[in-house]
Structure 1
Amino acid sequence: MEKKYWVPSIERTDMVLKKIGQSPNQLRLIDLSKELEINKSSLFSLLNTLENLKWITKEGDTYNLGPALGALSAAYLNQFNILQSFHKEAGFSVAVINEHIQLGILEEEDVIYLGKMEGDSRVRLVTNPGMRFPAYASSIGKIQLIGHTKEELQKRFETSDWEQKTPNTISSLDELYENVQLAKRDGYAIENEEASLGFHCVAAPIYNFENKIIAGVSFTMMKSSWGTKKDAAKDEILNLAFRLSQIAGYSGHMKQAVNKEIE
């Protein structure tokens, strides 16, 4: 593995966590120091930091993995399951509309795109899996904000510079709040050339068993297709979001009726 940009402190942390995980409630500071060949003074600071962050816990003189790691593991598995389900289900929706579909989650003021399923269109999206993009400039971001009050939106976007991706991009908190309230009313979010000129999107939310929004899915298409496909795309993205929500344990009903089978 290339170590040109390696961070030794993170490598030591990884070694410590793996060692504790292999021998829970058995190793003391001196044991870890000897087995990992880490100076006791440096190791003490590292362990103290990990303990305060709840990555590990201390019982007497020995250590266990902490609840923070459990939360991260649960988040990873949840994300993994969403991604697997998306790749399984999105193909059916692409077959209906024949346009690109994306999956994304909300993190701070951005959307992180996790997955993509392509239709026959040869156009390239401005976003791809692994990319971050301002939530206010995307339908997949706006739909995941529908549970936010205006005060919560202000806090989330307090450091945002409201970068204008196009002349149509949302440029203020008031405008975002108005868009989010519209999406909340309708149950889906529309993006009209806000992320890239010539493209339109429609997104729907994915809920989990706690009735909380955990992700969003969206269709993206060119302006030339939007006029004829927007209604069908809206229904199908709601259909897909509902199927994914059911897989995630959601037992409610989507706000918009999508088809007789779901109803």
Structure 2
Amino acid sequence: MKEKYWVPALEKADNILREIGEYPNQMRLIDLSKKLGINKSSLYSLLNTMEILKWIVKEDGDTYTLGPALGAVSAAYFRQFNILQSFYKEASLSVSVINEHIQLGILEEGNVVYLGKVEGASRVRLITDPGMRFPANASAIGKIQLTQYDKEELKGIFPKELEKKTPYTISTIEELYENVRIAKENGYAIENEEASLGFHCVAAPVYNYENKIIAGVSFTMMTNSWDAKQDLAREEIISLANRLSQFAGHTSSLNRA
């Protein structure tokens, strides 16, 4: 249902911008009219206004590209974007669904630096807190961010012997690469008692407008909760990562790693 004070002309302009952004220098007036179901007379007025405002540029062949005014608006948006602020707002919604702890972390060389945490109802104390560093090979939130590297790059990041936190921690580059490769295919990473005995994590990547991983988010829970919630937790952490990615300007298909 539309909002009470919905403005159809703005909706049409939004649809036009999205179409031109998806197919730059390919869409003419007639193409946009057919694709969006807007009559040519109305569309001509909209395109002319948007061109004057520099929202779009009319190129040779009467096709359109996005204009410089949108670049200025985008730059202003990214100057104000605050991933930590967005995390606390969105992670609270995800915690209300799963009721387990969520963390946000970034990758620095071979370590995760934790930036934020939203707690669920569990009274169990996590071994990591905002501001702490932790080996990326021993955490789901680290491994999902390592998906951006190939095996040779991983060799350059980590020493030959990886730091072990439990008997289950990945300890070789070969094992780490295989684990990261699977995480990349799946779009999420799982860690079973690799950071701390009795704890399990599932993490998903946050992308920016350049399609680069800028952070990771993860649920952490004990084994009894993991057995009951792992599927739902996986879906919810992917959803959270997708929302944060959208705020960061990522627009490609969000089922990826």
Shorter-chain TM range is: 0.5 to 0.7
Identity fraction in percent: 69
Q: Is the 8 A contact 1:187 1:254 kept in 2?
A: no
User: Which 4+ residue blocks in structure 1 deviate beyond 2 angstroms?
Assistant: 77-80
What is the aligned partner in structure 1 of residue 144 from structure 2?
143
* TM superposition score normalised by structure 1: 0.66
Task: Report the CA distance between 1:79 and its aligned residue.
Answer: 11
Map of 1:234 onto structure 2:
234
Displacement, 1:160? 6.1
Pairs aligned (count): 180
**1:240 and 1:167, CA in 2 relative to 1: closer, same or farther beyond 3 A?**
same
Q: C-alpha offsets along residues 105-129 of structure 1, whole Å, 9 cap, x if unaligned?
A: 0001100000000000000001000
The Cα shift of 1:252 comes to 1.2
3-state DSSP of counterpart to 1:218? strand
Matches within 5 A, 1:168-187: 168-187=168-187
> Distance in 1 between the 2:152 and 2:173 partners?
10
Cα deviation 1:212-239 (Å, max 9, x = unaligned): 0000000000001111100000000000
One-letter code aligned to 1:92 = L
Q: In 1, are the aligned partners of 2:95 and 2:119 still within 8 Å (CA)?
A: yes
Question: What pairs with 1:55-94 in structure 2 (closer than 5 Å)?
Answer: 81-94=82-95
Q: Cα offset for 1:164?
A: 1.3
Structure 1 segments unaligned to the other structure (5+ residues): 1-73, 257-263
CA contact under 8 A between 2:160 and 2:172: conserved in structure 1? no
Alignment deviations for residues 161-185 of structure 1 (CA, whole Å, 9 cap, x no partner):
4221100000000010010001001
* 8 Å CA contact retained: 1:201, 1:218: yes
> Unmatched 5+ residue regions in structure 2?
1-74
Q: What is the rounded CA distance, in whole Å, between the counterparts of 2:80 and 2:132 in structure 1? A: 15
CA distance in 1, matches of 2:161, 2:109: 14
Distance 1:100 1:186 in 2: 22
Deviations 1:76-110 (A, max 9, x none): x9797110100111000000000000000000110
Distance in 2 (alpha carbons) for counterparts of 1:224 and 1:79 = 41
Residue type at the aligned position of 2:215: A
TM-score, with length taken from structure 2: 0.68
